[in-house]
Amino acid sequence: MVYGPPSGFTRSKPAVNIDPEYCIGCGKCIRLCRRGDVLTLRKEGAKTVAFAHDPLNCAGCGLCLQNCPTHAVRITMSLRV
């Protein structure tokens, strides 16, 4: 049996996502991000939250995930075409 991504796909790539329901807008994830342009702050109603501006540019280091005080950050692996 052959293991790996389906034909036509390349290796898995990390993608970061932030749940606005849990995010308190502290900006810790943005300061710790190694790539710099992946996460930004934005207004959602009366609340300021972190937002994954370019989620597929994530390095997958997990610094944002480990240091989020409310556990709002998720890093998933996705197949790229």
Beta-carbon contacts of 21 under 8 Å, excluding residues fewer than 6 positions away, are: 72
Query: Is the sign of the CA dihedral 7, 9, 11, 15 positive or negative?
Result: negative
pTM of the entire structure?
0.74
4 versus 39: the higher-pLDDT residue is 39
Instruction: Express each pLDDT in 5-21 by its tens digit.
Output: 566 656 678 889 999 99
Distance in angstroms between the alpha carbons of the first and the last residue of the chain: 22
Q: Provide the residue count of the chain.
A: 81
Residue 50: CB atoms within 10 A of its CB come to: 26
Taking the C-alpha atoms of residue 60 and residue 63, their distance in angstroms, rounded to an integer, is 8
pLDDT, tens digit (0-9, with 9 covering 90-100), for 35-81: 888 999 999 888 999 999 888 888 889 999 999 999 999 998 866 55
Give yes or no for residue 31 having a pLDDT over 90.
Answer: yes
